[in-house]
Structure 1
């Protein structure tokens, strides 16, 4: 399973999910259970409206490539990038993703048991 975070207002789409990054960069940014907190804490500080989409890559009909981020040190972990729209049927669960009381994001307990 891979994870994608987005604002609660962006989900659910009518049929397929096409975030802005798909149009701008050509892929949908995703994470795995061990790395989702990294982009959340770097890019979404102060947001309280996030959800995590749990995506089953076997239900996608587009490529998923594990790649390093374009910016930052070369030793960064690989992240899954989905090279096409995500059908609503490939999202097997949606979890609220609020920051902790200290404002820091961490994998929700409900997902920690799965990862």
Structure 2
């Protein structure tokens, strides 16, 4: 299971459109080249702190079933990082998201 932190509003729009195309906060799949800010469960809080610190809008954790994606997923180590993270090289079909769970705001 791949986890992706998203603005709840972006996920709501994606459900209507049938696919999710936001890479990370304020950046699209087309701008970034892949869906960024993905992680495993043990990496989630670190991703939240790095990319969503200070965000006051509601966030959700999307649990994505990799087998339902239909596009490549590559484990990559970003520059300056010591860990590998899954990067999704294509849109995420809404049906590949098996759950969307509210993520507590920073400080909770």
Instruction: Please indicate, yes or no, whether the TM-score normalized by the shorter chain is above 0.5.
Output: yes
Normalising by structure 2, we get a TM-score of 0.84
Give the one of 75, 78, 84 matched to 1:69: 78
Larger fraction in strand: 2
Matches within 5 A, 1:12-27: 12=12, 13=14, 14-19=17-22, 20-27=27-34
Q: Secondary structure at the match of 2:49?
A: helix
Structure with more helix by fraction: 2
- Note closer, same or farther for the CA distance 1:5–1:62 as it changes in structure 2 (3 Å cut): same
| Residue in 1 that maps onto 2:69 | 60
Instruction: Spell out structure 1 runs of 4+ moving beyond 2 A.
Output: none
Superimposed CA distance per residue, residues 9-59 of structure 1 (whole angstroms, 9 cap, x where no aligned partner) = 101312111113411121001111110111211221122411100000000
Give the aligned length.
Answer: 99
Matched, 1:45 2:53: yes
Largest Rg, 1 or 2 = 1
Say what the alpha-carbon RMSD is for the aligned residues.
1.5
1:95 corresponding residue in structure 2? 101
Structure 2 CA distance for aligned equivalents of residues 54 and 22 of structure 1: 18
Tell me which residue corresponds to 1:9: 9
Determine if the alignment matches structure 1 residue 35 to structure 2 residue 36.
Answer: no
Q: TM-score, normalised by structure 1?
A: 0.79
Match of 1:78 among 70, 76, 84: 84
